[in-house]
Homo-oligomer: A and B are copies of this chain.
Amino acid sequence: MQLTAKVKEILSWYEGECPGVKGNLARLLMQGRLAGTGRLVILPVDQGYEHGPARSFAANPPAYDPYYLYQLAIDAGLSGYAAPLGLLEAGADSYAGQVPTILKVNSANSLSASTPDQAVHGSVEDALRLGCAAIGFTIYPGSDACYDMMEELRELTIEAKSCGLAVVVWSYPRGGQVSKSGETALDIVGYAAHMAALMGANIIKVKPPTEALDLDAAKKVYEAEDIDRSTLSARIRHVMQCAFAGRRIVVFSGGEAKDTEGLLNEIRQIRDGGGSGSIIGRNSFQRPKAEALALLDEVTKIYLGDA
């Protein structure tokens, strides 16, 4: 399929990357119903590791089956599907070539009470073997483990890119100077996106920012410079600016399951603020399939500009 002008422009931002990485970014950008628009909707399923299987799948038991999740991403015409090793392996052969996959290579779990950290349980070699387009990695800037996590990310990034894989970074500040409510404050989310960009992330995942400001030193600047944070779309625009003046792909999570209209409004503002798209997990696979497809159809239409 021929690349659209929009996709060519996006790829031109990644001038530091080898053709293999650009090719994999193109795979994600040219897939599904949003192909060629420069927007992405990705299905992530790492909640089983993070929260346990029942909290993730009991509301919609067919989702316990790895095949269901692949099929959902395909049937909804999404841009990609991200999951930890076991889930991808379980269907990698059956669904080979049908949807670009992102191997999520590290995870936390809800049983641990230690310093916020994650276990690296996937490898670049795994991602290659399974035909993935990218690896995904979470960092917790702020945590006492953050410097170690960043160094793990750097090593995996070098290895992944040298093999032509793209790198998706979940940048989730946590611990240290960051208050619990501050994890989604505007200054913190913008900072999170910027650090991920500086570390070479090709695609950045952050949470939609609130109006709050968490660090005193930042607050002073936001107020002095009168940075607009009155609406979500203004805040999204600021986060995109923090990602190299919009030269990086930034997708936003849907957060905890919420009512449909609330979710769709949020997505309209992400679109209006220039966000690159959404990662929608629990809001999709925790509903019966028909409802999930209907919701994802709405989301897709918003990014297509039809809603």
* Contact between chains at A112 and B49 (CB < 8 Å): no
A199/B121 in contact, CB under 8 A: yes
Question: Nearest Cβ in chain B — how far from A256, in angstroms?
Answer: 12
A61 near B: Cβ within 8 Å? Answer: yes
A51 partner residues in chain B, CB cutoff 8 A = 217
Assess whether B54 is in contact with A187, with CB atoms less than 8 Å apart. yes
Q: Give complex CA distance A85, B194 in Å.
A: 12
A225 touches B58 (CB 8 A): yes
Q: Are B88 and A16 in contact (CB under 8 A)?
A: yes
Which residues of chain B are near A198, meaning CB under 8 Å? 48-49, 84-87, 107, 121
B-facing residues in A84-121 (Cβ within 8 Å): 84-94, 107, 109-114, 117-121
Q: Does A289 contact B (CB under 8 A)?
A: no
Knowing A197-B86, A200-B85, say if A110 contacts B177 (CB, 8 Å).
yes
Stretch at the interface among A29-37, A151-159, A273-281, A292-300: A151-159
Tally chain A residues at the interface, Cβ within 8 Å. Answer: 89
**B178 and A221 contact, CB distance less than 8 A:** no
Instruction: Report yes or no: B245 in contact with A66, Cβ–Cβ below 8 A.
Output: yes
Are A111 and B191 touching (Cβ within 8 A)? Answer: yes
What are 28 sample pairs from A and B whose C-beta atoms fall under 8 A apart?
A: A14-B89, A52-B215, A54-B187, A54-B218, A58-B221, A58-B222, A61-B241, A65-B244, A66-B245, A84-B199, A86-B200, A86-B244, A110-B177, A110-B215, A111-B142, A111-B173, A111-B178, A111-B188, A111-B191, A112-B144, A112-B147, A113-B142, A113-B144, A113-B175, A119-B147, A121-B153, A122-B154, A123-B154
